[in-house]
Amino acid sequence: MTAPFGQRLAEAVAARGPLCVGIDPHVPLLQRWGLPDAPEGLARFTDAVVDALAGEVAVLKPQIAFYERHGSRGLAVLEDAVARARAAGALVLLDAKRGDIGSTMDAYADVLRPDHPLAVDALTVSPYLGPGSLQPAVDTARLHGGGLFVLARTSNPDAGTLQHALVGERTVAQAVVDAVRGWNTPGWVVGDPLPDLGAVQDLSSRWGATTGSFGVVVGATLPDLDVDLDGLGGPVLAPGLGAQGGSAAGLRRLFGTGRAVVPTVSRDVLAAGPDPAALRAAAARWAAELAA
């Protein structure tokens, strides 16, 4: 078993800063780089990003859909890229948004096992079959030191249709956050009453070696933070910097300066390629803005 993901994430952030760069090789971006929409173009794009950034940023976040669309050859590109990124010191968060029940969820979570061909550090998951449906992934993450980021309050235009719906007196988004808070509480299991905030060490108030391994996804472009993250105990993945309208100032407005937030940028960095120096410079600009 490796060190828990939360600890490894805190160490990576301390060494490299909190920036996460998404690897999203969609067709217009391949065309911008002068690459074909084919496994060969996918490999050249991915290799360039990994070679330029895996030694610089804390987290790389490949979106699996852009590799699956090329079949087994695309997944082979992703397998190689994940291994090389981790060897260079970056944590790899697989953006797959998996969600199912029972043995199927268990199979999805296998990517958190160190002997898996696509072994990654963390996985994005969807809780909309009920947070309890993710228990197999929670168990696998705990066993192998992996991490999960659970969709909670996203910033796509119609997200509130479900996320603002009420479960008793709480919104669905808040119920998800509360479930993840429970996972970061020692001894809590699905079905137990939610822990009192006063009984939970607020690990999210700082980056530290004891940051929990279970986090939530909260969009960086929300107009206001309408979920209570106090006592979460784990990190917040905040996608949407750059082309989607998110900014460092917006992150401070939403989350303050004390939380363990992993801001994510994709197109604003990837568009600088294929020159490796330009990719590194674009990532460095965002890292400096976040540090400021």
Q: Which helix (H) or strand (E) holds 96?
A: strand 91-98
> Whole-prediction pTM value?
0.92
Question: What pLDDT, on a 0 to 100 scale, did the predictor assign at position 259?
Answer: 86
Is residue 22 within 8 Å of residue 266, measured between CB atoms?
Answer: yes
In the block, residue with structure tokens 């449906």: 133
Tell me how crowded residue 35 is: count the other CB atoms within 10 A of its CB.
20
Per-residue pLDDT of the chain (292 residues; tens, 9 = 90+): 589 999 999 999 999 999 999 999 999 999 999 999 999 999 999 999 999 999 999 999 999 999 999 999 999 999 999 999 999 999 999 999 999 999 999 999 999 999 999 999 999 999 999 999 999 999 999 999 999 999 999 999 899 999 999 999 999 999 999 999 999 986 555 455 544 433 333 333 455 544 899 999 999 999 999 999 999 999 999 999 998 899 999 999 999 887 899 999 999 999 999 999 999 999 999 999 998 8
Q: Would residue 61 show up in a list of annotated catalytic residues for this protein?
A: no
Identify whether 274 is preceded by a cis peptide bond (ω within 30 of 0): yes
Question: Of residues 32, 97, 113, 142, which has the active-site annotation?
Answer: 97
Tally the residues of the chain.
292
Residues 6+ apart with CB under 8 A from 102: 136
103 three-class SS = helix
Domains of the chain listed by start with CATH number: 5-291 (3.20.20.70)
